[in-house]
Amino acid sequence: MQTRLLFMILVLGLSSQAIIAAPLGLPPVPVPANNPQTPEKIALGDRLYHDERFSADGKVSCSTCHAREKGFTDNLRVSKGFNGLTGTRNAPTVINAAYYTSQFWDGREPDLEGQSKQPPINPVEGGLKSHDPIIEVIRGDKDYTSAFKQVFNVNANEINMDHVSMAIASFERTIVAGDSAFDKYMYGGDKSALNEAQQRGLAVYLGKGRCVSCHVIEETQALFTDNRFHNIGVGFKKIKGKESETAAQMLAAKRKGADVDKTVLTQENMSELGRFAVTENPTEVGAFKTPTIRNIAVTAPYMHDGSLETLEEVVDFYNNGGRLKESDPVSGFISGGIKPLNLTDQEKKDLVAFMNALTSPEYQALAKKF
Amino acid sequence: MKKSMNRRDFMKKSAALVAAGSLPLSVVEMSFGKSNSENFTFAYISDSHITHVKGNDFVRNWDRGLIRAVAETNLMDPKPDFVFYGGDIAQLGKPEEIDHGLDILGGLNGKVHYVMGEHDYYLDLGDYWKKQLGPDYYSFDHKGVHFVVLNSILTHEKWMHKKWDKGMDRMLQMARLDNPDGQPFMVGDSQREWLQKDLAKVGKDTPVVVFSHSPIQKIHKGWNFWTDDAEQVQALLKPFDKVTVIYGHVHQIQYNQIGNISFHSAMATAWPWPYPSAYSQVETYLPKLTVEMNRADPFNERDATGWQFINMHTGNVDLNYVLPENKNRVVAFDASQGKPVDRDYQDADKRIPPQVHY
């Protein structure tokens, strides 16, 4: 009996492994114990992810701002929600989001399940007043009700937002991509996978550029993120001189019951408080999550506010110690690691060449557009 | 679901913080004074060690540490009644360094009180510092609390006033750790006489808070975590019901209770020192009460630095350490135990391994 049970566990383990086989350069995708991957759940999540009915104007789905054909972003400075309303933040790619230990730029949700519930009811994204209309649509759709029955063993009247978010999260956990030229060079034993400029760029990345301090590369894998929050100076000019006032406004709003998700996406100044809006910790003003830089060549524009259009600008921004121009002021809250780098023009070019070697084969066609 | 757990935890945490009166930025008022208006907080920044390189060049990392502490202090809500600066604005006491530090500190909202550090003093025996900031020992009353500032980094008159080629030679001697020719810090006879007279006017039930740069207790002589006449100063403070000594210099968290006196150290904005026990050649006396900071992560540039704000709601001190790239800590006086206690890490089983490991 025990042997049989063990056998079952092994088989199940293997089959879920097969669904989420890790690409070169990445570890296996972490899957929460209470939401295991199954092919049926992933297919259901895929459909929910693309369903535009879950919005106030019937035109906005997850895919609107996180479109596969745009590297799972929208390539806009900040995202457009229902009726063309815009928020305050750049849509991060879903590619490899499954590896983050918190979601959103400010980490206000711990996982993909929590994340997926917010946009449909944000006033500048899906625009719904509550999740009720989503559940209504699903309960009235026979394909959905039979799929939910199969996946979660629930009847139509038992379907709730937790089921929806679990299915979407399961789908998103399949959107992982490694196998880049860098991975082949670093982990695949192919020393010709990076050209000379890219190899020099990697040296700058690891050395003088100090990029690796936060966009982490390890011996056997590279998530290109430390999953931490840093103030690197982006967006600082918007609240320069008004930091205390803006922080006080945020705290006052929260004491009156304001929702962080709605507040930071609709109030430009408060958006710039970053992680502080979530934790209220004075050491996290203007701190945002380190995003992965895998497939960075296909996910422009850059930074939490989409304020930098090209990788060249990104390199200049860091090279000047957290500002685009040397004459710009530096935020008082800036992280200790952000300082002028004194890179040469050649080093800057090499660094960009290296970042162009982080594109996975499945997104390579998109890279050519940039 | 994880998410609702998270929310619930957050709510639970918020409630606990409000009850303890130690939300990071909002302070809950509790009564100790004659009226609620007498409850207050103040901020404390220390040990910035602004270092002049040449011309207009200063060591960037130390500048940024102080700039960040100033920016974060300005977020406090409600505003602190005043800010204390705990000494060592400068690295080598140079006027350029003191002025540059004061420029940055000029960004603070509200009144700043200053304490003399040895790095501010030994180049010119405090002349430039005093010219810019006034006397190096003084007292004042605020909302029912008597505040005393001491210059505790003096040493033997003979050594200070002996014939030095340059003031910088004296400064460099004093800046050196484990210096066989080093001199111990002391408050000295004349200041102690002044203190005795000053305290004679103060009611024994008035809370007294003393600021010094060095600890008014003896921890580790080789690094001057030490004041030679500590016992004599403590004796002057003994008659009062509630006494707190807050000091800089050590660049690390320390706290202690000796009789009626609570001791609290402050973080530096510049860099952390290791605990004296890391230096195994001599015996050291880190207070047993102290739960050490966890070891600084060298990859996080500001880790193990920080600043603090102090809540005076009981007449004793709740000291809130604001620690970038680490978890903030609160060490608050526990009336039932009669000593300061770390809110999260005091029990041995609550500590995280690097707090007891080098």
Cα–Cα distance for residue pair B170/B175, rounded to 1 Å: 9
Scanning every residue of chain A, which has its alpha carbon at the shortest distance from the alpha carbon of B24? A281
Answer with the residue of higher pLDDT: B39 or B31: B39
User: Which residues of A have a CB under 8 Å from any CB of B?
Assistant: 32, 34, 109-111, 113-114, 117, 162, 165, 213, 243-244, 247-248, 251, 280-283, 285, 331-337, 339
Read off the tokens for B227: 């004041």
pLDDT at A127 over 70: yes
Scanning every residue of chain A, which has its alpha carbon at the shortest distance from the alpha carbon of B6? A110
- Rounded to a whole number of angstroms, the distance from the CA of B330 to the nearest CA of chain A is 13
Q: What CATH number has the domain bearing residue B206?
A: 3.60.21.10
pLDDT of residue A125: 97
> Which residues, in sequence order, are bridge partners of residue A336?
none
Find the CB nearest A110 among B6, B70, B325: B6
Scanning every residue of chain B, which has its alpha carbon at the shortest distance from the alpha carbon of A32? B2
Q: What is the pLDDT of residues A277-291, one digit of tens each?
A: 999 999 999 999 999
Please state, as a whole number, how many other Cβ atoms lie within 10 Å of the Cβ of residue A103.
24
Cα–Cα distance for residue pair A302/A314, rounded to 1 Å: 8
Query: Per-residue confidence at B299, pLDDT binned at 50, 70, 90?
Result: confident
* Residue B20 forms part of a structural domain: no
Query: Per-residue confidence at B147, pLDDT binned at 50, 70, 90?
Result: very high
ipTM of this model?
A: 0.89
CA atoms within 13 A on the CB side of A265: 26
CATH superfamily of A2-172: Cytochrome c-like domain (1.10.760.10)
- Rounded to a whole number of angstroms, the distance from the CA of B41 to the nearest CA of chain A is 16
Place of tokens 């005093």: B130
B330 close to B343: Cβ distance less than 8 angstroms? yes
Interface touch A336/B65, C-beta < 8 Å? yes
Q: Please state whether the peptide bond connecting residue B78 to the residue before it is cis, i.e. omega within 30 degrees of 0.
A: yes
* Residue B250 forms part of a structural domain: yes
B324 close to B306: Cβ distance less than 8 angstroms? yes
Please state, as a whole number, how many other Cβ atoms lie within 10 Å of the Cβ of residue A256.
7
Find the CB nearest B323 among A114, A243, A283: A283
Interface touch B77/A213, C-beta < 8 Å? no
Q: Where are the domains of chain A?
A: 2-172, 181-231+290-367, 236-285
Find the CB nearest B75 among A247, A335, A339: A247
What average pLDDT does this structure show over A258-270? 95
In chain B, residues with a C-beta closer than 8 Å to the C-beta of A244 are 74-75, 77, 109
Q: Does this chain's domain A2-172 share its CATH topology with A181-231+290-367?
A: yes
pLDDT at A3 over 60: no
Query: What burial class does residue A212 get, using C-beta atoms within 10 Å of its C-beta: 0-12 exposed, 13-18 middle, 19+ buried?
Result: middle
pTM above 0.80, yes or no: yes
In chain A, residues with a C-beta closer than 8 Å to the C-beta of B302 are 335-336
* Mean model confidence pLDDT for chain B: 89
* Mean model confidence pLDDT for chain A: 94
pLDDT at A6 over 60: no
Find the CB nearest A111 among B3, B107, B328: B3
In chain B, residues with a C-beta closer than 8 Å to the C-beta of A114 are 1-3, 6
**Host domain of residue B268:** 41-356
Interface touch A283/B328, C-beta < 8 Å? yes
What is the number of domains present in chain B? 1
**Checking DSSP bridges between strand B145-149 and strand B339-342, what pairing results, if any?**
unpaired
- Rounded to a whole number of angstroms, the distance from the CA of A205 to the nearest CA of chain B is 15
Cα–Cα distance for residue pair B43/B108, rounded to 1 Å: 10
Q: Which amino acid is at A123?
A: P
In chain B, residues with a C-beta closer than 8 Å to the C-beta of A162 are 1
Cα–Cα distance for residue pair A124/B241, rounded to 1 Å: 58
* Residue B4 forms part of a structural domain: no
Interface touch B77/A248, C-beta < 8 Å? yes
In chain A, residues with a C-beta closer than 8 Å to the C-beta of B329 are none
Interface touch A332/B328, C-beta < 8 Å? no
- The domain made up of A181-231+290-367 has a fold known as Cytochrome Bc1 Complex; Chain D, domain 2 (1.10.760)
pLDDT at A369 over 90: no
Q: What is the pLDDT of residues B212-256, one digit of tens each?
A: 999 999 999 999 999 999 999 999 999 999 999 999 999 999 999
Size of interface A-B (CB pairs under 8 A): 83
Query: Per-residue confidence at B357, pLDDT binned at 50, 70, 90?
Result: low
* Residue B27 forms part of a structural domain: no
Interface touch A110/B301, C-beta < 8 Å? no
- Rounded to a whole number of angstroms, the distance from the CA of A295 to the nearest CA of chain B is 26
Cα–Cα distance for residue pair A191/B153, rounded to 1 Å: 60
In chain A, residues with a C-beta closer than 8 Å to the C-beta of B75 are 243-244, 247-248, 282, 285
Query: What burial class does residue B12 get, using C-beta atoms within 10 Å of its C-beta: 0-12 exposed, 13-18 middle, 19+ buried?
Result: exposed
Q: What is the pLDDT of residues B269-283, one digit of tens each?
A: 999 999 998 888 888
Q: What is the pLDDT of residues B96-125, one digit of tens each?
A: 999 999 999 999 999 999 999 999 999 999
Of the residues B13, B72, B76, B104, the best mutation for testing chain A's interface (the one with the most A CB atoms within 10 Å of its CB) is B72
In chain B, residues with a C-beta closer than 8 Å to the C-beta of A35 are none
